[in-house]
Every structure is written in structure tokens, then in C-alpha cells.
Amino acid sequence: MSPTARAAEVAAAAQLACLLEASAPKPGNVSPLARFHDATYEDFLASAVAIGPALAAAGERPLGATIRAAVEATARWVPSNTNLGLILLLAPLARAALLSSPDDAALRASVATTLGETTVADAREAYAAIRQARPAGLGRSPEQDVAGPPTVTLRDAMALAAPRDAIAREYATDFQTTFDAAAPVLRRGLAAGLSWSDAVVETYLTLLAGWPDTHIARKLGPEEAVRVQQRAREVIDAGGVRTPAGRAAIAALDGALRDKRNARNPGATADLTGAAICVVLLEGGWGRRDGRA
């Protein structure tokens, strides 16, 4: 496969991951039948398309530049922050995929290399992208705050934020949650015959039940994030997408997570789900149903 064709393939996997994540009716998130006060399902579709060129070029320029280019491209199409977290996760995956062979083991090693090679310049570009996206509930940090110039590499800056942010935690752990927790659940769901939509929702619920969502914690405090986590565990215990009782519990959780300001939106969990989709797609998972985890 030529480098140009491979770049197009990797960008398509990332874009499809965004589309599949947004299209699945995950409780508390935008979907074809649910919107936020400042974002519609169509905004998420536009965002998925917008980031393609930036991610196709991820192997040719530094990681920070890719992040900033993807955020700037999104801003030309949508008025609110629809995909900052996903861009922060997809950009390293795209770069790693373009610098490795197309299989999961090589991808994971390449992700570690990509993150280990980040620079202060990468952090500077990523900080600018974050400021442009203006994510809700960001707050201030006593060290390496995004409002000022960074003096450490992007990975080191993310490591400082890891205790309070799930996306930063992935940078600090070489995408451990994505590779060890989320992607295997998605693969097993597909192998069991679930539709992509149901498998995505199952992956999302599994992550939400496993860890308090850091987006909720930043907005409403850790106690509320733990309460949502407990509700997600109850949904899993009821069978999730696989039983009528579980689907009823999903609908009830969705209602509980919706408010006028989207404060209970488990956005970090949704972003991790999107990253897992991208990993599965990059290793050939669109047609795979063998359950390899």
C-alpha cells in the first residue's frame, strides 16, 4: 500500500470511529435522537469529516501540530467544542498507525513511541488548541496550566493532569485503558453478534461502570461522578444492551444524565469509547467477528 493510500485509510478509520461513536445512543450524550443546547448530532457529523485531512497528515508533522490543525478544522464547521477529547486521542493513534505496520501489536508499541517522543513544541500547539476549543469545566492547574506557555513535553504535561483527566491519563499510560479495557470489550461485543451501535454502547457502559467520568467530576465534583458510575454498574448488572431490563435501565440512566447545561454528560468516557473504536478499526475490525481481544 502506498503512503498516500495508507494515510487515507488511517484518516478514514478515525473519521468512522467518530461517526460510530456519535451515532450510538450512549446515555447522556448526543445521538441521532438527542442533542445538547449547544451541539447537534449534525455538528458531530461535520466534526468527523473536518478532521480527516489533519489526521491523514499525522505521519508527516509533529503531534502537536496535528492536534491544532484538527481543532482549527473543526472550528470552521461547528460553533462549539464537539471533539477536543477525541482529537487528543485520535491524533496519537493516527500518527502511530502511520509509523507502524497495520496490526494491533505494532500499533500499541508505536503509540508508546509516539508519546515518548513528544516535545515542548507539541505541548505549545496542544495548549493553543485547547484554548481555542474552550472545553467546559477546564479549571486551573497549579502546574503547566493551559492558559500559559508550557515548559515540559506534551506527555509530561498530560502526566501532571492524569489524576483528574481521563484523556491525560491515556497519554501518561500509553493508552492503557483504550487497549486493555475498552477495545477488548468492543471486539467481544461484535464477535457475539451485537450491532456496532450496541457494541459501542456496551463498551461505553463498561467504561463508565469501571471509572468515574472525569468530565462529570470537573463540573460537579467527584461524588457525582461516583454516583453516575454506580448507576452504570446497575445498568450492566441488569444486562445492558443484551436484555429488555438492561435496555430499560439504559433509558432511565439517559434521562438521569440529561439537564439543560449538559453537566452530567460523561464526555471523557465517550472519548475513550471513540478511541477504542479507532483501534479496532485500524487493526481490521470493520469486518472482523472472531472476538480476538
> How far is it, in rounded angstroms, from Cα 43 to Cα 85?
15
| pLDDT of 116 | 97
| pLDDT of 85 | 97
Check whether 202 has a pLDDT greater than 50: yes
What pLDDT, in 10s, does the model give residues 239-282? 999 999 999 999 999 999 998 888 899 999 999 999 999 999 99
Q: CA 136, 30, 111: angle at the middle one, nearest 5?
A: 70
* Number of CB atoms found within 10 A of residue 234's CB: 13
| pLDDT of 287 | 67
Report CA-CA distances (Å) from 56 to 8, 260, 270.
6, 36, 23
| pLDDT of 142 | 73
Report CA-CA distances (Å) from 275 to 40, 52, 291.
21, 15, 18
Answer left, alpha or beta for residue 34, where phi above 0 means left and psi between -120 and 50 means alpha. beta
Residues of the chain above pLDDT 70, percent: 94
Q: Which three cell numbers, joined as nine digits, stand for 85?
A: 477529547
Q: Which three cell numbers, joined as nine digits, stand for 276?
A: 477504542
Q: Which three cell numbers, joined as nine digits, stand for 11?
A: 484518516
Average pLDDT over all residues of the chain: 93
State the average pLDDT over residues 150-154. 97
Reported as a pLDDT band with limits 50, 70 and 90, residue 284 is: confident
Placement of cell 478511541 in the chain:
275
* Number of CB atoms found within 10 A of residue 20's CB: 22
Answer left, alpha or beta for residue 164, where phi above 0 means left and psi between -120 and 50 means alpha. alpha
| pLDDT of 19 | 98
| pLDDT of 143 | 79
Check whether 292 has a pLDDT greater than 50: no
Q: What is the pTM of this model?
A: 0.94
| pLDDT of 260 | 84
* Number of CB atoms found within 10 A of residue 223's CB: 9
Reported as a pLDDT band with limits 50, 70 and 90, residue 103 is: low
Among candidate residues 102, 10, 100, 86, the one with its CA nearest the CA of residue 55: 10
> Could you tell me which residues come within 8 angstroms of residue 233 by beta carbon, excluding any fewer than 6 positions away?
209
Of 100 and 74, the structure prediction assigns the larger pLDDT to: 74
State the average pLDDT over residues 4-10. 95
Helix (H) or strand (E) holding 211: none
Check whether 139 has a pLDDT greater than 80: no
Which residues does residue 34 pair with via DSSP β-bridges, in sequence order? 31
Domains of the chain: which residue ranges?
Answer: 3-282
| pLDDT of 290 | 46
Report CA-CA distances (Å) from 22 to 29, 83, 99, 141, 211.
8, 10, 27, 30, 21
Among candidate residues 86, 84, 61, 202, the one with its CA nearest the CA of residue 132: 84
Domain 3-282 fold is: Triphosphoribosyl-dephospho-CoA protein (1.10.4200)
| pLDDT of 286 | 81
| pLDDT of 102 | 60
Reported as a pLDDT band with limits 50, 70 and 90, residue 293 is: very low
Weakest-pLDDT range from 7-11, 133-137, 242-246, 261-265: 133-137
What pLDDT, in 10s, does the model give residues 17-66? 999 999 999 999 999 999 999 899 999 999 999 999 999 999 999 999 99
CA-only gyration radius of the chain, Å: 18
State the average pLDDT over residues 91-98. 97
